[in-house]
Structure 1
Amino acid sequence: MPDAHTKYAHAEGLTFVTYTIDGKYLLTAGSNNLLRKFTHGSSDEPDNIDQTHRLNTGICGNNENFYISCEDGLVESYSIRNNEMDKLITRFSLPARDVAVTPDGYWVAACGDDINVKVVNTRDTTKHMVLRHHSKPIKHITFDPSGSLLACSSVDGVIYVYSLTTETPDLLHKITGVISEVDVDSEVSTRAAWHPDGRALAVGQNNMDIAVVSRQDWGIKKIFAGGHSNDVSALAWSKNGGFLVSGDTKGNVTIWESKNQNIVARYRYDGGITSVSWHPTENIISFGTTEGTVITQPEAVPSEHEKVLNLALQPAPGFLPAGADFMRLERQAEAKKEKAQKSRRGSVDDILNALDEENGDDWLVDDDGAGYGEKNENGKRKAVIPGLGMPSIKRHAYGSWEPDIHEPMQPGSTPWRGDRRYLFLSLIGFVWTVDQKTHNTVTVEFYDQEQYRNFHFTDPLLYDKAVLNENGALFSSPPGRGNPALLFYREHETWGVRHEWKTRLPDGEEVVSIALSSTYVVACTSNGYVRIYSLYGVPVMVYRQKHTPVVSCTSWRDYVMILGNGPVTSDGRAQLTYTIENIRRNEIIQNNDAVALPDDAIVKNIFFSEDGNPMIYVSTGVLLVLQHWRNPGQARWVPLLDTTHLDRRIGGKKEETYWPVAVSQDKFCCIILKGGEKYPYFPRPLLSEFDFRVPVSNPPDEDESKNDAMSKLEESFVRESVLVSLTEDLIEHTRDADNERIEVVRRNISIDKTLLQMLALECKEEDKQSKCLEIVGLMKQPRTLEMAMKVAEKYERRGLVQKIEAMRDQMEED
């Protein structure tokens, strides 16, 4: 086994280490006023980052920033890219003792001798939460893998677990009798190390053993025993949770296999172990010691056990793999039923009946109300497409085939992750639900809390869809527990008056998608029906959508847009279609036209912009608007932004994706997802905005300044032309307001100004006269043509001046 590499990084005293998420750097802090950044795998000297204070007490980070706490009471952020201090996160009047950051990098928690724990937003440090339920100082803090729970280890031997999913944090549980009482400056660690699957945490005990505490009941699930004869001072799980490493105050290190709590390796180093960090992708562990040294142990896990490191996420000790509990119960239920069936087959008739039913599906239990157990008029069970509750294409005797359909999608919602999910995210506010085993709890919060009042309620019906707008909130629940599917509309409370109503759908019908506008409630169901109600619960119309199964719907004012699965194409995939209808006029505007999707792409969100233009955001990272959608047969999907070409992502600068929320004031509003995340999670992340930029051309090289300027002007011309056409359509088909007409004039002026700048660039070239004339032909005002003549005269393009003059005269005559 290779020898460990020892680096003398800091002065004698507590030393703290952490790898960046990508494993590129090892960051260290110690008792001197120097921070160090080691490049992994390099023998070069580390980068040094100077501080103005000493005695650091904690370090954490991601790929962009790292955070330190110190005895001066400061908690600071540093940039990994430029090795400089970024900002002051927060300040304590007494020494700070630890710091932790959420996996998405949006929140930093810090604790100290001031007793209170602060959770601060890294983008806007004025936004923060304060945890106050403990009466003694907190020594260690750690976020769970989702970032929604924070474990705070107090010096009085209690672990306080907080939920951070609301702006007022909740104390979930106090874990007592597991960790010992310690001093704030003790080398002994009482840190709660969350297992990567989030179902348990590990802590050192006063008998030198390590306890695994279950999140289900907060009791001890397993014990890692016999590994140390001195107090445990550091703990860390491997990236996949397959191993646990522990160090003690005398420099002894033990590596355990999580599954059976067996010891697979032991090491001994000089000095007490003060911190430990696994490399995220390699079999390497780094330690900080009381000697100020940083020790890196290659091939830390012996080769005969190393294969476990390469496995997917492993379950926490004492737990089955995720989903295995349900699978085991299902197998037991099937075995029990089969045994009961065999005991009843006593006669010839019973045997014949059993043979006839052998390929049946009587074992299916319709526990989620999706229609799996329903029978048709002949007593046969209906075939069901999973997740839709919709009859599938009939299977034939030899082989089977079914089309590749677009799965249903509720705009603004996320799937379950752990025990919670967002039901709706928008610029108005957000709705989320928490699974409480026997019921759910639903919370609605608004950004403008002066105008709207937040609310929270217990949900025994298990609402799974929600929509929020300026007037009210709409919810729907699936059938189950003896209840049919239900719609619930709740008007926002104003001056103490609030209107609400509920309606139940017919038995066997399930809500696929819901929408809420300023005038109507829309529900698309599993039977292919579109059900429309007034805001006071009056049913306005019911009709069957032509293309089913329905995928999603959204609405604005009197309009509703519905997505459905259309004809099956040659590759076996159903074409995604859309229909737009004016409900008040009972008029179909666009009838089952195709949604412009590239191969293998799916729609991530659909919505109307604040100006009433249908938008979709697809999985390829492109935002599209439906241009000329009020004119039957004239609508087309136009890209307004390709997020893969954002400046922040060129050259691999940022590895991130974007969760679409809305479009407002010519900006794409979204949530930035990092670290491979697919959906936003808790605590609630901040919204980000990106300006529209139509993908007209590939950005030129840096040395091509003229081409760069021209490409920007060309993009601006195309973008403004699209936006002005949208406003002109709005004016033509609605009661226009003065500000809308002013907007058209402003955009036309902007277009002409852009064309003049393009003309000036092209006039510099001798062989671009035809293109110059074409640019002039796009100008819309005589005054702009006069300015174009001056531009041509400046560059001595006499022939061009004459042609422009003729065009101006013709425009004035017309």
Structure 2
Amino acid sequence: MATTTQVRVRGRPAHTRGPTYLSYTPDGTKLITVGSNNTVRVYRTGFDGEPTNIDECPEQNAGVSSADNFFVLGSEDGNISKFSLETMAFEKYLTRCSLPIRDVVLSPNGEWCAVSSDELAVKVIKVKETSSVIALREQPKSAKHISFDPSGKYITLSCTDGLVYVYSLEDDVPDLVRRIDGLIRGVETEDEVCTKVVWHPDGRAFAAPTAMRNIQVISKNDWENQRCFVNGHLSDITALAWSPNGAMLVSAGKDKKVVLWETKTQKILTTYDYPNVMDIAWHPSKNLLSFTNTEGEVYIYNDFVTAEHAHLVKLPLQPAPFIHDPLSEISANRRPIANGLKDFATRPRRDSLNSLDDILNEGIMGEDDDFVVDDDGAGYALGLNGNGKRPNGDINSYSAPLSKRRPQTSWEPQYHEAFQPGSTPWRGNRKYLSLNLIGFVWTVDQDTHNTVTVEFYDHEFHRDFHFTDTFLYDKACLNDNGTLFSCPAHDDVPATIFYRPHETWTARADWRTQLPKGEDVTAISLSDSFVTVTTTANYVRIYTLFGIPYRVYRQKSSPAVTCASWRDYVLTLGNGPVGADGNTKLLYTIQNIKRDEICQSEDVVALPDGETLKSVFFSDNGDPCIYDSTGTLLTLLHWRTPAQATWVPLLDTKLLSRLASGRKTESYFPIAVADNKFHCIILKGGDQYPYFPRPLLSEFDFEIPLSAKRASNNRDADDEDEDGREEDELKKLEGQFVLKSVLTAQHQDLVDFTKSTHTQRSALARMEVEIDKTLLQMMAVECREGEERGMRALEMVSLLRDRTGRMIEAAGKVAERYGRTVLGEKIREVGELLLGGGDMEED
């Protein structure tokens, strides 16, 4: 519960009456204050004596911002002055405006200074080269406040028209990326009301005071409203600031209150009674807050956060307060429930006779078709050529009739180029090496070397790390055990494999090995048991997790395309024979390395003519999956039985309901299949790959493509609308029946071919029951349609998997409920045949 602190800190007279501003140096050693008079005061942290005064400064100052060894201030005479903290003297003017200055801010690295004034344009000046100036001109009104994000790549302008303008400074020419309306109120530049945007230290969001005297958080990814700090002030807010670790927020208002908030819960921790506060600054590392007021006073408040909440000061960097924080949700879903059957394992068991209404009415029509933003990834992307596939020429000539093909000097087959699942091609000087549900690996080209960063979604299990990469790694894999890298041969250094485990009980357990000279890496994969490498020499090289060479063999299909692995299983793909369309057929092989058993040998990947493979990976249950250029996700059924494998579609993204209007243009970057959902990154417009800043992940439920969805129309007849609803319900149930049958078949294989646990076997029984429930629901729809649909309903009864008679009895009750007497008699005959040991199948 919030408390009001009674202990008051004495204000220190610093300047003459009027607006007063302050700034801590990034190292926290000094506090600089400016005000209405022509004196700047520099306070040393931890020293209670008199501050150092710098005289002969401009008067009527409107802002100050500091680096470790200098500071800049802006005054109403239009000058931006730079002062040295080493000599405590004026150095130079950075720029001059023709109208009064309203705000001045240094970029996080201290190299740029942004200046707003009553002029329309905002200037961004390079501190060391004042002739280098960037002008921000898109806003039609002058800016009252300006602020940089923690990376220095974005700058926000709070303008007097009540809009926030967000510019990107990554390129030479600034880009206005967003206008945010409805966040701040419109004010005049001389008003004491604060409309400043303050960036959260994690850089993913910012906060700003609203017209309703609340503090609204906005996410940088989609510029949408997130959490809101409410009911803290009764009057306009005059200042606010995040704590350096983002765990707290402090705000001041005209109601003479200074409020300390907890970021995570948006609750008020403490309130303090201080009037006329104009500016607030946290010390970079101590439990120390300073603020100034309109009386020219400065307050240096040691132990500002009370002992009850002082632990918040010591926390590491905390996340910005999102409504659905992608990082926390990814953390919650990072590790799959055993066999992905949480829904079955936790659902109460129901007997068919006592829960007929539950079976028939179990949330069919009320399911939410929207996707959930959340998650994380397991790998996928490829750096193919222009059309995403064959790099050796244009295949369009082969799609025309023979008589109309253009003359060919020579014929060449079009092969599928190698790719690394989960990676993206270079864009500018950076690329993703791996994207999956554990985290992501990305690299930045620094000319002479690269810098590699590995970040995890769940920081409770692993800590992020980065390193200087002189090997120039271009491929990576990431899992719970470690990170695997590979680099091509360059100069006199052969192609290299590098594995770094996350945790070891020895001093050093990472290892590095080099491939034979002239051999390069085409793809790598990492499982809980092995490291797999496919090479340009068409070798498949298998290593243990600690670098012991385990097996080397030559792949039959050539050239190699990619590989994936899960536990002891390795899936390799390569180019096979040329098909009728002039493209090579992709062939895959799956084998158990530890048992030296081949499950599938050189079988064909089911791709339509002219289409390409975008990704290949194992699901969290260990079933192979592919995602192709048609936007279809497929899984491999019965892959543990030689010559029995079948590619089954789980989702066609072109048929998603979100695309039904035709107004959206988007594609999907595959990440993983986990918890019986497809995890991906949504790409807008014509983008083929995700880029920085790292986008959020989305998830979609499986939906096997069975039939065209009923087109919406304006029919007036109620009976026709009712028929349409019945049709939609039946199609949905049919889709559930087929999907559940596929998932059950996969789980049946898992139970049959592995040392299954009791939980897995129990889950399989529950999955069988779920299929029967769906059939009963389908039968109910048929019974409602009339007696003429009885034969179809009886066929559904014959598909029931339960052989104890309970589901047969439930089916009879469904027929009885809808008055289908003849159907009921047929069902009883079927039941007698089954219970009597007969077989409904004909020889």
**Which residue of structure 2 aligns with residue 173 of structure 1?**
none
Choose the corresponding residue for 1:524, options 534, 543, 547. 534
Q: State the secondary structure of the residue aligned to 1:422.
A: strand
The 5 Å alignment of 1:259-298 reads: none
Counterparts of 1:569 and 1:512, CA distance in 2: 23
**Which residue of structure 2 aligns with residue 600 of structure 1?**
610
The 5 Å alignment of 1:385-404 reads: 399-404=409-414
Once the two structures are TM-superposed, the CA of residue 495 in structure 1 deviates from its matched residue by 6.5
Choose the corresponding residue for 1:796, options 810, 816, 819. 819
Counterparts of 1:29 and 1:739, CA distance in 2: 65
**Which residue of structure 2 aligns with residue 632 of structure 1?**
642
Counterparts of 1:118 and 1:710, CA distance in 2: 42
Give a deviation string over 1:261-289, Cα, whole Å, max 9, x none. xxxxxxxxxxxxxxxxxxxxxxxxxxxxx
Choose the corresponding residue for 1:96, options 187, 196, 200. 196
Once the two structures are TM-superposed, the CA of residue 65 in structure 1 deviates from its matched residue by 9.2
Once the two structures are TM-superposed, the CA of residue 125 in structure 1 deviates from its matched residue by 3.5
Counterparts of 2:556 and 2:392, CA distance in 1: 21
**Which residue of structure 2 aligns with residue 810 of structure 1?**
833
Q: State the secondary structure of the residue aligned to 1:540.
A: strand
1:772 pairs with 2:793? yes
The 5 Å alignment of 1:420-569 reads: 420-494=430-504, 498-569=508-579
Counterparts of 1:437 and 1:119, CA distance in 2: 33
The 5 Å alignment of 1:128-527 reads: 399-494=409-504, 498-527=508-537
Aligned CA distance change for structure 1 residues 107 and 589 (closer, same or farther; 3 Å): same
Choose the corresponding residue for 1:715, options 707, 728, 735. 735
Counterparts of 1:766 and 1:471, CA distance in 2: 60
Counterparts of 2:581 and 2:166, CA distance in 1: 49
Once the two structures are TM-superposed, the CA of residue 794 in structure 1 deviates from its matched residue by 1.9
8 Å contact kept, 1:604–1:618: yes
Q: State the secondary structure of the residue aligned to 1:768.
A: helix
8 Å contact kept, 1:30–1:56: no
Choose the corresponding residue for 2:748, options 728, 734, 742. 728
Choose the corresponding residue for 1:56, options 144, 157, 162. 162
8 Å contact kept, 2:635–2:650: yes
8 Å contact kept, 1:118–1:130: no
Once the two structures are TM-superposed, the CA of residue 793 in structure 1 deviates from its matched residue by 1.5
Aligned CA distance change for structure 1 residues 29 and 769 (closer, same or farther; 3 Å): farther
1:647 pairs with 2:657? yes
Once the two structures are TM-superposed, the CA of residue 803 in structure 1 deviates from its matched residue by 1.8
Counterparts of 1:536 and 1:780, CA distance in 2: 47
Give a deviation string over 1:678-725, Cα, whole Å, max 9, x none. 101111111111111111111123441110000000000000000000
Once the two structures are TM-superposed, the CA of residue 746 in structure 1 deviates from its matched residue by 2.0
Choose the corresponding residue for 2:806, options 769, 778, 783. 783
Aligned CA distance change for structure 1 residues 68 and 132 (closer, same or farther; 3 Å): farther
Aligned CA distance change for structure 1 residues 482 and 64 (closer, same or farther; 3 Å): closer
Counterparts of 2:652 and 2:596, CA distance in 1: 35
Q: State the secondary structure of the residue aligned to 1:745.
A: helix
Counterparts of 1:452 and 1:654, CA distance in 2: 38
Aligned CA distance change for structure 1 residues 587 and 766 (closer, same or farther; 3 Å): same
**Which residue of structure 2 aligns with residue 756 of structure 1?**
776
**Which residue of structure 2 aligns with residue 81 of structure 1?**
none
Choose the corresponding residue for 2:766, options 729, 743, 746. 746
Q: Indicate the larger mover: 723-732 or 693-702.
A: 693-702
Q: State the secondary structure of the residue aligned to 2:522.
A: strand
Task: Give the structure-1-normalised TM-score.
Answer: 0.55
8 Å contact kept, 1:640–1:694: yes
Choose the corresponding residue for 1:677, options 677, 687, 695. 687
Choose the corresponding residue for 2:588, options 567, 578, 595. 578
Q: State percent identity of aligned pairs.
A: 49
Once the two structures are TM-superposed, the CA of residue 767 in structure 1 deviates from its matched residue by 1.4
Give a deviation string over 1:377-414, Cα, whole Å, max 9, x none. xxxxxxx9889xxxxxxxxxx93332100011100000
Code of the residue aligned with 2:572 in structure 1: it is: I
Counterparts of 2:670 and 2:627, CA distance in 1: 7
Aligned CA distance change for structure 1 residues 733 and 130 (closer, same or farther; 3 Å): farther
Code of the residue aligned with 2:465 in structure 1: it is: F
Counterparts of 1:130 and 1:437, CA distance in 2: 36
Counterparts of 1:669 and 1:95, CA distance in 2: 38
Once the two structures are TM-superposed, the CA of residue 649 in structure 1 deviates from its matched residue by 0.9
Count how many residue pairs are aligned between Structure 1 and Structure 2: 486
| Contiguous gaps of at least 5 residues in structure 1 | 1-12, 17-26, 32-52, 75-91, 100-105, 134-383, 388-397
Once the two structures are TM-superposed, the CA of residue 132 in structure 1 deviates from its matched residue by 8.6
**Which residue of structure 1 aligns with residue 320 of structure 2?**
none
Task: Give the structure-2-normalised TM-score.
Answer: 0.54
Give a deviation string over 1:41-75, Cα, whole Å, max 9, x none. xxxxxxxxxxxx9841435799999623765499x
8 Å contact kept, 1:427–1:661: yes
Aligned CA distance change for structure 1 residues 593 and 798 (closer, same or farther; 3 Å): same
**Which residue of structure 2 aligns with residue 737 of structure 1?**
757
Once the two structures are TM-superposed, the CA of residue 738 in structure 1 deviates from its matched residue by 2.4
Q: State the secondary structure of the residue aligned to 2:787.
A: coil
Q: State the secondary structure of the residue aligned to 2:647.
A: strand
Q: State the secondary structure of the residue aligned to 1:96.
A: coil
Counterparts of 1:757 and 1:492, CA distance in 2: 49
Q: State the secondary structure of the residue aligned to 1:421.
A: strand
8 Å contact kept, 1:720–1:751: yes
**Which residue of structure 1 aligns with residue 180 of structure 2?**
67
Counterparts of 1:443 and 1:577, CA distance in 2: 34
The one of the two structures with greater contact order (alpha-carbon pairs below 8 A, sep at least 6) is 2
Give a deviation string over 1:540-592, Cα, whole Å, max 9, x none. 11111001101010000110001110001122110011110110111111011
Give a deviation string over 1:628-681, Cα, whole Å, max 9, x none. 100111101000011111111112142211110001111111111113211011
**Which residue of structure 2 aligns with residue 623 of structure 1?**
633
Code of the residue aligned with 1:660 in structure 2: it is: P
**Which residue of structure 2 aligns with residue 364 of structure 1?**
none
Counterparts of 1:575 and 1:671, CA distance in 2: 28
Counterparts of 2:521 and 2:733, CA distance in 1: 47
8 Å contact kept, 1:433–1:442: yes
Give a deviation string over 1:109-166, Cα, whole Å, max 9, x none. 68999xxx99644368469x98999xxxxxxxxxxxxxxxxxxxxxxxxxxxxxxxxx
Aligned CA distance change for structure 1 residues 452 and 124 (closer, same or farther; 3 Å): farther
**Which residue of structure 2 aligns with residue 241 of structure 1?**
none
8 Å contact kept, 1:73–1:96: no
Counterparts of 1:734 and 1:462, CA distance in 2: 40
8 Å contact kept, 2:566–2:622: yes
Give a deviation string over 1:63-96, Cα, whole Å, max 9, x none. 999623765499xxxxxxxxxxxxxxxxx98223
Aligned CA distance change for structure 1 residues 30 and 801 (closer, same or farther; 3 Å): farther
Q: State the secondary structure of the residue aligned to 2:661.
A: helix
Counterparts of 1:762 and 1:118, CA distance in 2: 50
Code of the residue aligned with 1:776 in structure 2: it is: V
8 Å contact kept, 1:661–1:670: yes
Code of the residue aligned with 1:792 in structure 2: it is: A
Code of the residue aligned with 1:766 in structure 2: it is: E
